[in-house]
Structures are given as C-alpha cells and as structure tokens.
Amino acid sequence: MSNPTYKIAILSGDGIGPEVMAATLPILNKAGEKFGFKTSITEALVGGCAIDATGSALPDATVNTCKQADAILFGSVGGPKWESLPPTQQPERAALLPLRKIFGLYANLRPAICHKDLIHASPIKNSLIPDGFDVLCMRELTGGIYFGEKKTVAVAHGERSIDTMVYETSEIERITHLAFKAAATRRKKVTLVDKANVLETSVLWRKTVKAIAPQYPDIKLDFIYVDNAAMQVLKNPNQFDVLLCENMFGDILSDELAALTGSLGLLPSASLAEGTFGLYEPSGGTAPDIAGKGIANPIAQILSAALMLRYSFAQEKAALAIENAVRRALAEGYRTGDIYTEGTKKVGTTEMGNAILSFL
C-alpha cells in the first residue's frame, strides 16, 4: 500500500504564531519520512493578519482551505493592534468560535504535562510531584451553560439574569467514548467531574457515563465533585489520568491545570469533531510581549502537531516519537526563556525546534 498523504490547513495567525509554526513544520516532515506518510500543506490567513489583508478574521478562502483539509494546525490569533475593535470582531472571537461551529468541534483535549525536568516551574510543592505529572483534561465544547438559553429581565429592584445549563444524552455519549478511548492509551482511568449533588445535568452525565463504562472493562471509572476536583489537582494531580468535564467545569479546570505545569509555552490542545477532523493549537495566545524576537517556546505548537498525528491520522508511533524527542530536548537541558534556569542551555525558537528535530 502506498504511503497516505494528509492534507493540513496551516493557520499560523499572529504574534508568535508564525515563528512557532516555522519551527514545527520540519518536524512534521521528518516524522512523515520516518513513519511512512506525506503531508500536503496549505497556508491560509486567520486572525489579525487576515483582518488587515481582507477585512475579516476568518476569510471565506480560509474556511474553504480548511474544508478541503483533513485537519487544521492553528497557531494563535490576536494582539494589541486589534484590541480596539468591537468584541464581535476581535480576532479570537471572530475566528475561533466560527471555526468551532463550522467544523462541529465538540471535544477539547488539553493534556497538562509537567515534565520531570521542569517541576521547579510548577507552583505545586516539588515533593508532591517528584516525577512531574500528566493529566488529560477533556472538555465538552459545544453544550452546557455557555450555549443554553440566556436572558436578563427587569424586576422590582433591578434585573434578573438567567443562564441555562442544558445537556442531552447524545452530547454526553460521544465525548464519553472519546474519554474512554483516550484513557485506553494512557493510565486507564476516567474521572467524571460533576456536581451531581445539585445539578440535574450532572445527574444525566453520571447516568450516561455509567451506562457506557461496561463497554470499556479495562478502564477504571470514578466520580468527583468539581469543587473537590479543583482542590485535588493542587494536592495530587497524579491521582488523575483523564478528567472528563462538561463545558464550564472543563474551562476552569483546564486553565488551573495549565497554570500548574509552569509554562503556557509547553501546552498543546486538540479540538475534535465527529470522525477524524480536528483543530490543533497551543493553549497559550500570541504572546505580544515576545513576538518577533525569535525567543518563543515552540514546544506547545510541536506537541499540537503530535496530537494531530494521534487523533486525526491515527499515527500513534509518530506522535509518541515527537513527544519523546521533546522530552529528550528538555532532559538534555535545552530551554527557551520562559522555562530557563541557571545551568541549562538557553536557546531561541529555531534552535529549540532544531534540537527536537535532531532527537526525532
């Protein structure tokens, strides 16, 4: 059988986006050579640079490029230049939200990994995480309280505002299967984060997840209330493997976990649709304070490409090889400014990319 070719839409965006993307593409290429696949890449404008060029943060041409692709590798968008635009035209809102909607990206995966060599950067006491930690936060992205009916009405002494949290069985089922499948490639445990003591939607989440669990007999399932989860990730993140969360709980917990790893420059994310399509991007933003200086950490973008290989193209070995090359570069002491400590090798974006490439 001939080698598969994967069509990838490259949306680098603004700020450090193009810099970290440039360090990532040679790594994707080399992974293809090593593991027997090809990538066909089409670049398209998104975010502030797209507003400057076309007046729209998500031009039709970009949407078309994405529609023809098997996956989107995204940088990040936004920056001070566009902050005075009305909220609905801000690059993040006008580009990412429509992309989520157009492509039905219903599951957001944020692996929070604190490497053994970087535990000093974590705000958690190092004695609690001697080997670092690795937790996958899986957040439902298109339902729940952010999308339920909302309104504000006048009442006698002010106003009353209502947000509605809504979930249907089918929305819970599809992400639950993803969570169990992800756990199967990891430490084989899923923890459902909910508030089943007070929320009807949480009761439905528990019931639905429990009903699916017997299909995955090798995976351990347990439950935790969200308030306790917020505390437990601080005390002992290693007790968790996959945290399955409805939209708002996942929004909050994934940021808490990101902060616990020490640097935004290390964290990838995946937003998945039904089937194999996905959008992959670093968890951080465009880092305007360091953009254009060649010092941004490319690891989050490189690990996002690894997630793309894993979840959209089922190239698990290639994904693991990239993740191991990143681990090796860190173990060998390569550090961009955001994770630098005395005694390690301070490098820029390109050098970090080249080091990872050489260990692949």
- Contact flags string 319-358 toward ligand NAD, x per CB under 6 A: -------------------x--------------------
- Nearest approach in angstroms of CB 95 to ligand NAD is 8
Place of tokens 């639905």: 208
The active-site residue, picked from 255, 317, 340, 346, is 255
Bridge-partner residues for 179, per DSSP? none
Long-range residue pairs from 50-59, CB within 8 A, at least 24 positions apart, any chain: 50/91, 50/95, 51/82, 51/85, 51/89, 51/91, 51/94, 56/94, 57/89, 57/90, 57/91, 57/94, 57/95, 58/94, 58/95, 58/98, 58/99
Residue 184's Cβ-count burial label (10 Å; 0-12, 13-18, 19+) is middle
**How far is Cα 341 from Cα 92, in angstroms, rounded to an integer?**
32
User: How does 71-89 read in b/e, with b if 16+ C-beta sit within 10 Å?
Assistant: bbbbbbbbbeebeebeeee
Please, which residue, 148 or 337, has the CB nearer to ligand NAD? 337
- Nearest approach in angstroms of CB 320 to ligand NAD is 22
The active-site residue, picked from 14, 70, 251, 338, is 251
- Contact flags string 86-115 toward ligand NAD, x per CB under 6 A: ------x---x-------------------
- Does 251 participate in catalysis according to the annotation? yes
Please, which residue, 116 or 293, has the CB nearer to ligand NAD? 293
Q: What is the dihedral of CA 260, 263, 264, 267, to 10 degrees?
A: -80
Q: Please give the residues from 214 up to 273 whose contact with ligand NAD meets the rule CB under 6 A.
A: 264-265
The active-site residue, picked from 7, 81, 134, 146, is 146
The active-site residue, picked from 116, 125, 227, 235, is 227
The stretch near ligand NAD (CB under 6 A) out of 208-216, 230-238, 290-298, 313-321 is 290-298
Nearest-CB residue for ligand NAD: 285
Cβ-proximal residues to 294 (8 Å cutoff; 6+ apart), any chain: 19, 348, 349, 350
Residue 250 CA to its chain's centroid (Å): 12
Is there binding between residue 294 and ligand NAD (CB under 6 A)?
no
Q: Please give the residues from 59 up to 88 whose contact with ligand NAD meets the rule CB under 6 A.
A: 76-79
Is there binding between residue 196 and ligand NAD (CB under 6 A)?
no
Report the catalytic residues.
Answer: 146, 195, 227, 251, 255
Interface residues toward ligand NAD, by CB under 6 A = 16, 20, 76-79, 92, 96, 264-265, 281, 284-290, 296-297, 300, 338
